[in-house]
Structure 1
Amino acid sequence: MTGIVLAIDQGTSSTKALVVAADGTVLAEAEILVPVYTPNPGTVEADPAALLASVLDAGRQAVAEAAVAVDVVALANQGESVLAWDPATGRPESACVVWQDRRAAEVCARGQANAARLTELTGLPLDPYFSAPKMRWLRDRLGSGGVITTTDTWLLHQLTGEFVTDAATASRSMLLDLSSATWSDEAWELFGLDEPRPRLVRNDEIVGTTRAFGREVPVGGVIVDQQAALWAQRCREWGEAKCTYGTGAFLLTNTGDRPVRSGAGLTPSVAWDLTGQRRWCLDGQVCTVGQALSWLRDVGLLDGPGDLDAVGETVDDTAGVVFVPSLAGLAAPHWQPSATGGFFGLNLAATRAHLVRAVCLGIAAQVVDLVDASTADLGGAPPLLRVDGGLTRSRLLVQMQADLLQAPVEVAAAPHATALGVADLGLRAATGHSLPDPRPGTIIEPSRSAEWAEQQLSRWRSALALSRHWSEL
């Protein structure tokens, strides 16, 4: 058997590893949880040692279960998360500052004079969500020495000894010139960063070799996680969109062979950079989705995310309760890092089941917010929304999404679209071939009226406005 890919999806709260054959068969899979620490409001960190251990352990478990030698290793990364490390030894010199961390708001506040120019250069608003403000925040605390990079560069250095990142990941940093997909000297200077810059590689390029999972094999097909899912969902044409529901929810819409500078609050990014083909997308984010359900568990309203349907489907409505899921601030299209979440309309009739159902509705409503922004930018809505991620196993969430959108939703047949996308890119890097097209997903049609959807969205938008105002008090 040839063309065996070990595809690793290193995400915020877990690392998934799939061993995938060239015919698309998933031979084995493994998942290792990654602890995320939020000791204070706005602080979201992870232990770099835990990130690396999760990559090695998940990959080795999957390879052992598959009982085959792999031919290439591919890696998807979590995007805007950063850390400091020693390039001579590879040792971390800071915690991993996760993409949800808002402490770099102070960097953004003092850099407002450069905000418009940075957006012109990179397409991104000046916000602590992105990598460069976090890098500046870390550099202010660590002084000189070492390097500060996104997590993919450090993990790939651990695996291969190389110092690289890809253009899709770099386009989420505020340091890449959006038009040329090359590093912007001016953006680096405006942030006052003189870090060594990783070499930019294509998403179908072999970047080095590793012995971490057995015999020495090439490493290739590296990309940021959401673009990997866009690729896996076959959103290859202008206007096609997908949403991945994981720790957060991420809506990406293909904008073809040129970047579209959003007037509605979305962010343009490189979708993929392949040999002979570069594509762009518009990106929108809901910062807390799976993490909102974990929060429900932590406060005792759910035993775990797997109980979402068992609890939420015991009632038919939310008893008038509305939930705004901005527990780690608002990203696109509002860009209010200080925003907080909350329940509105609480009353004596509201039970645990109503609150759980309200959380589902709030998540789905915020995704509608992103679809509406994409529609405003592109002049039309996607013909259907393709969805993936572990939370798409929830009948309740997916049906609410279709009902609020008043449009069909296609649920991917396999929930691990990110890992399958990076597997396909890894196979392309190693062999020049692609995995077969995935099985068709399940189409979920709206089951509620347009009037119901408009009423729910109107109430949710009122609650969102109240929540945004609260954070400004």
Structure 2
Amino acid sequence: MNGIRNVVKKYVIAMDVGTTTIRACLFDDKCRLLTCAERPVPLELSGADGEGMRAEIDPDLLWDAFCTVCREIMNKIEDVHSIASMGISCQRNTFVCWNKETGELCHKLVTWKDCRARDECKRWNESFTLKAMNIAGALLYFFTRQQRFKSLKMFAFLSAMVTHRLMVTLARNPEMRMLHRSGKLAFGCLDTWLIYKLTNGGVHVTEPSSASSTGLFDPYTMNWGYIILWLISFPFSLLPPHTFTAGVPLALCDRRIFGIPLSIGAVAGDQQAALFASGCWRRGDVNICMGTGSFLSLNTGNCPIASMRGLYPLVGWKLPNMQSYVAEGCSHDTALILKWAESIGLFDDITLTSNIAAKTPRTDLCFVPAFGGLQTPINDATACCAFMGLRADTTKDDMLRAILESIAFRMVQIWNTLLKEITFELTQVVRCCGGVSSNDFICQTISTLINRPVQRISEQSFASARGVAMMAGITAGMWKKSDLDDMVQIDKTFTPRIDERSTLIGAFERWEHNLKRCLHYYNK
């Protein structure tokens, strides 16, 4: 057999279930990446004007791809019993509902990019009920100074949250309503559904890093946010129990799936897994992950922090003796923008885009990356995408540079928001990962604008997989938390270019000014 022959050494399989790709990675007992297998995940985009973009995934195709890549990796191992554990990293806020008794699905996976609840969120955010809740939060925060009430003061529903996307899906599906009335409807985000499938319906749970971004979970109480869910009449009976992210075995795979009862040792949201893999375990560490979407995550230590400007307090990870919280800002359309740029002929080879942009002189051309609206710190689902400053002599390279700059500018915009919000000092650790971070032009632009070194980790495209592999290895006893530092390797460090900074700040400020023209474009 053409495989990895070592029956003594223990391995960890890490599954990274992304929005466009699903991959299985094999790590050894030092958490070194040995091999991987991947398959594309077709993202189905649809929706008429005014309805909001729908973004769905066929669950059968995703499950087939999950099993295929996992078996492909297992076939490279001489003795599959040398696999100590499996870790799973999932795209967050993607959900599905099914029949508890038969396991039959009620609809396709509704992804985090889906905008079907845009109008419903807008209606609720303008309602007297939510405004009263914001006022109550402000008063409670004034008297108690508790961060939880500060969050309530600024709380708003976003289409990326699961809350209203599920409510809208339920309202439009008579079969789901009938199953719910009879107590047969089950619900879960991707982590929950995959565990359910892997255990052949035996385990129905979630974990806090995935749950905390849904709008259903209260990170301050580490429980479901029953008060807000009661206000919107969310069906409590659908909420699964929540458990640890790692540190204890979460479930055993049904042996009929892979031939052995593989232990699931870690399940985490993709961004939290990437933060973990980047070595951002300390309060004040920052990670910038640029892949399908772009995310800036700050480790806030053992307390969540509330934001007045759209940073989300999330659970980083929950292990028996290791728990962290995160403040996160996001921009959703990174990969979609690059795919669109390629489709209209702005480049042929994405690996060449950094050099093209670096060699192209800066112009007044601006690009606003908002196919799915604008997220932190603006949170306008009705914003539009636009080029501004097009001239008769504008070239494809000019347009490409503007697009790459816009990805960096969105991260800097979130960084500036972060600096206004936090009350403690950041560490010197600013790291980046994700497939798009392989673009030197983007990373250098970020470093110069934030005036800090930015360290790109090695094997940056595999950060989420490495993160859950590191966690699963802790669960399996393959290594200790004290061993983790040696597992983080730096590929390249970008340092600020002081001579370019003032010019770049001017370009960024002009871009921010032009961005305002794209707001509320799709308002009815």
2:108 to 89, 92, 95: 95
Which residue does the alignment assign to 1:20? 27
Cα deviation for residue 300 of structure 1 reads: 2.5
Cα deviation for residue 430 of structure 1 reads: 2.1
**Residue identity opposite 2:119 in structure 1:** E
1:189 to 227, 230, 238: 230
Which residue does the alignment assign to 1:151? 190
Contact 2:29 2:478 in 1 (8 A): no
**Residue identity opposite 1:20 in structure 2:** F
**2:502 maps to 1:451:** yes
Which residue does the alignment assign to 2:60? 49
1:239 to 260, 284, 290: 284
Q: Give the unaligned 5+ runs of structure 2.
A: 1-7, 138-147, 180-184
**1:76-99 CA-partner distances (Å, limit 9, x unpaired):** 110111122222232321111110
Contact 1:8 1:76 in 2 (8 A): yes
Which residue does the alignment assign to 2:40? 33
TM-score by length of 2: 0.85
Contact 1:371 1:381 in 2 (8 A): no
Contact 2:280 2:429 in 1 (8 A): no
Aligned pairs for 1:299-448 within 5 A: 299-309=344-354, 311-317=356-362, 319-379=363-423, 380=425, 383-415=428-460, 416-431=462-477, 433-434=479-480, 436-447=486-497, 448=499
Cα deviation for residue 471 of structure 1 reads: 4.1
Larger radius of gyration: 2
2:166 to 135, 140, 143: 135
Which residue does the alignment assign to 1:106? 119
Cα deviation for residue 316 of structure 1 reads: 3.1
Q: Distance in 2 between matches of 1:34 and 1:326?
A: 22
Q: Distance in 2 between matches of 1:351 and 1:384?
A: 37
Aligned pairs for 1:116-131 within 5 A: 117=133, 125-131=156-162
Q: Distance in 2 between matches of 1:188 and 1:455?
A: 44
TM-score by length of 1: 0.94
1:207 to 242, 250, 259: 250
Q: Output the aligned Cα RMSD.
A: 2.1
**Residue identity opposite 1:23 in structure 2:** K
Contact 1:360 1:397 in 2 (8 A): yes
Q: Distance in 2 between matches of 1:303 and 1:191?
A: 47
Contact 2:30 2:487 in 1 (8 A): no
**2:295 maps to 1:288:** no
Q: Distance in 2 between matches of 1:459 and 1:132?
A: 36
When residues 154 and 322 of structure 1 are mapped into structure 2, their CA distance, relative to the original with a 3 A threshold, is same
Q: Distance in 2 between matches of 1:352 and 1:67?
A: 51
Q: Distance in 1 between matches of 2:98 and 2:353?
A: 39
Q: Which range moved further: 371-380 or 332-341?
A: 371-380
Cα deviation for residue 426 of structure 1 reads: 1.0
**1:26-73 CA-partner distances (Å, limit 9, x unpaired):** 121112111112123521111111221221122222222355522211
**2:219 maps to 1:173:** no
Q: Which range moved further: 8-17 or 394-403?
A: 394-403
Q: Distance in 1 between matches of 2:520 and 2:223?
A: 39
